[in-house]
Amino acid sequence: MSAVTPLMSVTVTVNGRGRTLTVEPRTTLLEALREHFGLTGTKKACDRGECGACTVHVDGRRVLSCMALAAMQDGKQITTIEGLARDGVLHPMQAAFIEHDGFQCGFCTPGQIMSAVAAVEEAKAGSPSAATDDLTKSFSLADLSRAEIRERMSGNLCRCACYPNIVAAVAEAAGRS
């Protein structure tokens, strides 16, 4: 006789829209977004938190959705790649990726863009990275060098090796923001 896994009700705001779903406690946020809400822009790649293809924003912070349980997101604001554009206008980061050919096959691109948006916001907020030279002075967006961008984006892998174009796109979008 097998035990029945109890279901949980979770209410979240996804891309500005309130949503409720019923899931098993072990359902990941990635599975909920793709399978329950049909938001397939968030990609399932390694399923181990190593590649960054599943990056989304939860309450404004980047999260690897393959490593986050949907049940833990109750009451939270979630933004996926589908929620970045506003009224048909691309987010500056999306536009910069297109302008700089920051993708080739495109599989990692949604996670790259979501991570890049968060990286710029972290820099604006004054958060240093492992590449920050001087931790005694406050960090600003003006300090977001290409080395800083590479470090902040290091959790996102691109099998096509479009890294120089990705860094150029992030640098340009950071200058626009």
**Domains of the chain, with CATH numbers?**
8-83 (3.10.20.30), 92-176 (1.10.150.120)
**Which residue in 106, 117, 105, 116 sits closest to 154, CA to CA?**
116
Phi, psi of 89, rounded to the nearest 5 degrees: -105, 125
| Residue 54 pLDDT > 90 | yes
Res. 27 pLDDT band, cuts 50 70 90: very high
Cα–Cα dist 153/53, whole Å: 12
Mean pLDDT computed over 133-138: 91
Cα–Cα dist 34/40, whole Å: 5
Mean pLDDT computed over 124-132: 94
Q: At 77, which amino acid appears?
A: Q
Can you read off the two tokens belonging to residue 136?
A: 């005694």
Cα separation values, 165 from 31, 97, 160, Å:
30, 8, 11
pLDDT of 176 = 73
What contacts 81, CB < 8 A, 6 or more positions away?
Answer: 41, 42, 56, 110, 113, 114
- Distance of alpha carbon 135 from the chain centroid: 26
User: 3-state DSSP call for residue 29?
Assistant: helix
Can you read off the two tokens belonging to residue 112?
A: 């790259």
Can you read off the two tokens belonging to residue 56?
A: 């989304």
- Mean pLDDT, the chain, rounded, equals 95
Question: What is the pTM assigned to this prediction?
Answer: 0.93
Cα–Cα dist 165/163, whole Å: 5
Q: What angle do CA 148, 104, 154 make, to 5 degrees?
A: 25
Cα–Cα dist 55/108, whole Å: 10
Res. 4 pLDDT band, cuts 50 70 90: confident
